[in-house]
């Protein structure tokens, strides 16, 4: 098969980690007889430097014309980079929010699993980490607090800032359906996370999720308040299979979930629309402190490329091959700095990419 992949390397460690994912994809193409064409595009700080804006319409159009988008990370040090002296709508993150909205990527899948070989990197008590966990956070990505009306104004000499959390039932229904569909392919449990004891938007969320659940009699549905979910994630993460939640709750809980896997450098993500089209990126950020040093962990980006093979290209064997190669590399004791422990072999970012490609 021939596929056109839009590649947004971005800022910070983005170029390093995406280069390794492309190395692995090229190996897959060679081994399975595919052809992947890459078109490199700018977004984030590098686009601000080149074009004055974090995302151009041209880039959006090129992404739309592609079969899938592979992304690294965007943004810089918010206390030091000149990008953060710009108005909010011209900063790197504005590009990311705009591309999610423009491409209709409402479903953000963030799988979080603890590799047994890395359980010592898990900061939880041993009796909890020994049980392991394997969950998927389905975060709503184009609504809620991130995209509600917002403004800052002075009222009677006092500054006021307003952000609004709005969902309509269609937005809730489509993300709930994605969550139940994914649960059917996993352990058939959905935990819907909300704040229904306080928020109207959460009460509507709960009602719509319950309606959708009727079409999935095999799936067990439970509701959990977001504050309790934050607690349960560190108390007993093994209880979760698919967690579905509002944009902002999902942003926060997915960082928490990633931390208990030991390193955010291990976690991939996929952002999808109603079709098979998606944007694939590691869950972690641009890590400006280690950028350009060939130290970053490329595994999350490589696993994101595997999600692209699976969800956008229907290449399940190829995706399995990438995931198995990652697992074998870890099993054989190869580590980047973030997951390094005594007795293991320390690799640079590019060495890790080459090692995984070798194992394909």
Binding stretches for Mg ion (CB under 5 A): 251
Residue in 11, 251, 318, 338 binding ligand IPM, rule: CB under 6 A: 251
Least Å distance between CB 196 and ligand IPM? 23
Tell me the residue nearest to ligand IPM as measured from the CB: 93
Distance CA 11, CA 288 (A): 8
Least Å distance between CB 108 and ligand IPM? 8
Non-local (6+) Cβ contacts of 11 within 8 A are 44, 45, 46, 72, 73, 74, 75, 76, 92, 286, 288, 291
Tell me how many residues contact ligand IPM (CB under 6 A).
Answer: 3
Interacting residues with ligand IPM between 59 and 98 (CB under 6 A)? 93, 96
Of 41 and 96, the one with the shorter C-beta distance to ligand IPM is: 96
Of 134 and 255, the one with the shorter C-beta distance to ligand IPM is: 255
Non-local (6+) Cβ contacts of 252 within 8 A are 230
Backbone region of residue 196 per phi and psi (left: phi > 0; alpha: psi in -120 to 50; beta: other values)? alpha
Of 39 and 93, the one with the shorter C-beta distance to ligand IPM is: 93
Partner interacting with residue 16 (select from Mg ion, ligand IPM, none; CB below 5-8 Å by kind): none
Q: Are 151 and 162 in contact (CB under 8 A)?
A: yes
Least Å distance between CB 206 and ligand IPM? 23
CA distances from 112 to 18, 152, 261 (A): 20, 36, 7
CA atoms within 13 A on the CB side of 63: 27
Partner interacting with residue 93 (select from ligand IPM, Mg ion, none; CB below 5-8 Å by kind): ligand IPM
DSSP 289: G
Least Å distance between CB 346 and ligand IPM? 28
Q: Which residues pair with 110 in a beta bridge?
A: 137
- By annotation, the residues acting in catalysis are 146, 195, 227, 251, 255
Of 103 and 137, the one with the shorter C-beta distance to Mg ion is: 137
Binding letters toward ligand IPM, positions 136-175, x by CB under 6 A: ----------------------------------------
Least Å distance between CB 59 and ligand IPM? 17
112 binds ligand IPM (CB under 6 A): no
CA torsion, ordered 110, 115, 119, 123, to nearest 10 deg: -10
Distance CA 262, CA 242 (A): 20
Q: Which residues pair with 150 in a beta bridge?
A: 163
CA atoms within 13 A on the CB side of 153: 6
Binding site for ligand IPM (CB under 6 A): 93, 96, 251
């Amino acid at each position: 098969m021939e596929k056109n992949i839009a590649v947004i390397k971005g800022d910070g460690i983005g170029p390093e980690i995406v280069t390794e994912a492309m190395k692995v994809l090229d190996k897959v193409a060679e081994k399975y007889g595919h052809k992947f064409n890459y078109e490199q595009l700018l977004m984030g700080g590098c686009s601000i430097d080149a074009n004055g804006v974090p995302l151009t319409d041209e880039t959006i159009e090129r992404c739309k014309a592609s079969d899938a988008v592979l992304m690294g990370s965007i943004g810089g040090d918010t206390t030091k980079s000149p990008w953060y002296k710009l108005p909010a709508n011209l900063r790197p993150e504005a590009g990311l929010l705009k591309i999610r909205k423009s491409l209709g990527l409402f479903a953000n899948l963030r799988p979080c699993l603890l590799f047994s070989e890395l359980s010592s990197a898990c900061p939880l008590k041993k009796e909890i980490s020994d049980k392991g966990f394997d969950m998927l956070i389905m975060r709503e990505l184009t609504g809620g607090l991130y995209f509600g009306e917002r403004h800052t104004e002075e009222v009677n000499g006092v500054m006021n800032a307003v952000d609004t959390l709005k969902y309509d039932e269609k937005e809730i229904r489509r993300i709930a359906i994605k969550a139940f569909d994914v649960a059917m392919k996993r352990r058939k449990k959905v935990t819907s996370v909300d704040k229904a004891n306080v928020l109207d938007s959460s009460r509507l969320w709960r009602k719509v999720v319950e309606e959708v659940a009727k079409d999935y009699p095999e799936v067990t549905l439970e509701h959990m308040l977001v504050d309790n979910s934050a607690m349960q994630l560190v108390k007993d993460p093994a209880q979760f299979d698919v967690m579905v939640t509002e944009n902002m709750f999902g942003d926060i809980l997915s960082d928490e979930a990633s931390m208990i896997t030991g390193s955010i450098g291990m976690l991939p993500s996929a952002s999808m629309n109603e079709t098979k089209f998606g944007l694939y990126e590691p869950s972690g950020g641009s890590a400006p402190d280690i950028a350009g040093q060939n130290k970053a962990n490329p595994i999350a980006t490589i696993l994101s490329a595997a999600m692209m093979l699976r969800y956008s290209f229907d290449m399940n064997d190829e995706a399995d091959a990438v995931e198995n190669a990652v697992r074998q590399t870890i099993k054989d004791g190869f580590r980047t700095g973030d997951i390094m422990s005594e007795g293991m072999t320390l690799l640079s970012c590019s060495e890790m990419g080459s090692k995984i490609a070798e194992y394909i």
